[in-house]
Amino acid sequence: MSIIIYHNPRCSKSRETLALLETQGIHPKIELYLQKHYSVAELQQLAEKLGITDIRLMMRVKDELYKSLNLADSTLTNEDLLNAISEHSALLERPIVVNGDKAKIGRPPESVLEIL
C-alpha cells in the first residue's frame, strides 16, 4: 500500500494526521508540498481523487494569500483556481492523504481513515 500525505510539519492538523496514520501502522510517503510546484494537470488529478468539482474545497480559503489574490471572485473558473494553486502551493489545503485513486483532506484527521 503506497500512501502519500501532503504535509506541512508546521501545521498541527497535518502533524496529527501523520501521527494517526503511524498509529495505524502506516508510514506514508511524506510530500512537503510547500517545497514543490504542481502542474495544473497534477492538481486536477488530485481534485478527482478527492471527488470534488469545486476547486475551492481543496484551497485554504481563509488564508491571507487567498484573499490578497482575490480568489473569492465568483467569476473565476476552476482552471483559474488551479493555476493559482500551481503558482502558490501554499493555497493547497492541508493535509491531504492519497491512497491509490482516492484522497481525503485530514480535517478532522480521522476523516482520512475512510480511504485506508
| pLDDT tens series, the chain, 116 aa | 599 999 999 999 999 999 999 999 999 999 999 999 999 999 999 999 999 999 999 999 999 999 999 999 999 999 999 999 999 999 999 999 999 999 999 999 999 999 99
* 3-115 CATH pick, 3.50.50.60, 3.40.33.10, 3.40.718.10, 3.40.30.10: 3.40.30.10
The reported pLDDT for the residue numbered 111 is 97
Q: Which residue has the cell 498541527?
A: 12
Predicted model pTM: 0.95
Q: How do the domains of the chain map onto residue ranges?
A: 3-115
Helix axes 78-87, 40-50, angle to 10 degrees: 120
Catalytic hit among 4, 11, 26, 116: 11
Write out the chain in H/E/C secondary structure.
CCEEEECCCCCHHHHHHHHHHHHCCCCCEEECHHHCCCCHHHHHHHHHHHCCCCHHHHECCCCHHHHHCCCCCCCCCHHHHHHHHHHCHHHECCCEEEECCEEEECCCHHHHHHHC
Q: Which three three-digit cell numbers place residue 42?
A: 497534477
* Structure-block grid coordinates of residue 78: 476552476
pLDDT at 1: 59
Strand pairing report for 96-99 and 3-6 = antiparallel
The reply to whether 11 belongs to the active site is yes
